[in-house]
Amino acid sequence: MIHEPGSEGDASVASRTRFDVPTSARVWNYLLGGHDNYIIDRTVADAMAEVNPQVFHAAGESRRFVARAVRYLAEQGVRQFIDIGAGLPTDQNTHQIAQAIEPRSKIVYVDNDPVVLAYARGWMVAAPDGVTACVDADLHEPENIIAGAREVLDLTEPVGLLIVGTLSYIASTDQAVSILDQLMAAVPAGSYLALEHSSDTSEKARRCAARYAQSGAKPYHPRSPEQLAQLLTGLELVEPGLVPTPQWRPDEDNAEEALSVDRFAAVAHTRARG
């Protein structure tokens, strides 16, 4: 379902929102220094930081990867984007980056968090010649994502698909592979996937995930680099391949300052699928 600005009232949002359980969008917002969160979200984020102090830094590195990846895809001529797991607004959202390079770019955000959908009324403002929309859909149902995106995008033309952090909420790696296969099968040759995902490369990362799950929130599942590589099977990786998030084409002014985080990122091309 396409969510148009102003189409969902405050009463509807409140009826669908749990204020006693943290949500990934609100916790992530707090980790990024935002104010669109509640005490329950801040409490669990601080508890995560107790066992993994890098969690705030890791969130920032994830967002910086989005900016670099979108900029790269736009420079490759991609003019259509599907951002799955849009989350709450931050600085330099996908549509702002893409439309700064090509104002006619079209962006479809996908989320099923009622708070995110409500906030979309205020922040999904496109450039005058561009298009920005939001689809209310769940990653577990890729057919609904594609159906919603098709209402806005021309899926005979290349698409930049962004899945940043979201795939970690799929417990089974086999299911995650299946979801990606369905999504990538729906877009044409010349399309790209930008993937970023938490990893289980340290004990503190595993403890952080366990602490989050104990809060009652929907748990996320860090994966090993080998499992993350499995998600990209059949795609042609863009250099430097699957690497720790800060190492994916860092900006020159941050190249030496970026700290290691338990997250990996990659951008891949559909050309290799045949």
pLDDT tens-place string over residues 58-104: 999 999 999 999 999 999 999 999 999 988 877 788 999 999 999 99
Within 8 A by CB and 6+ apart from 132, the residues are 95, 106, 107, 108, 109, 124, 125, 126
State whether residue 127 is helix, strand or coil: coil
Q: CA angle 180-216-177, nearest 5°?
A: 10
Q: What is the DSSP letter of 131?
A: E
Q: What pLDDT shows up at residue 108?
A: 95
User: Is the model's pLDDT at 6 over the cut of 60?
Assistant: no
CA-based radius of gyration for the chain: 17
Please provide the average confidence, as pLDDT, over all residues in the chain. 88
Burial class of residue 1, CB neighbours in 10 A (0-12, 13-18, 19+): middle
- pLDDT tens digits, 28-58: 999 999 988 999 999 999 999 999 999 999 9
Burial class of residue 137, CB neighbours in 10 A (0-12, 13-18, 19+): buried
Interatomic CA distance for residues 125 and 138, integer angstroms: 23
Angular region, 213: left φ>0, alpha ψ -120 to 50, beta rest: alpha
Structure tokens at 194: 């930008």
**Beta partners for residue 135, in sequence order:** 2, 110
User: Is the model's pLDDT at 273 over the cut of 80?
Assistant: no
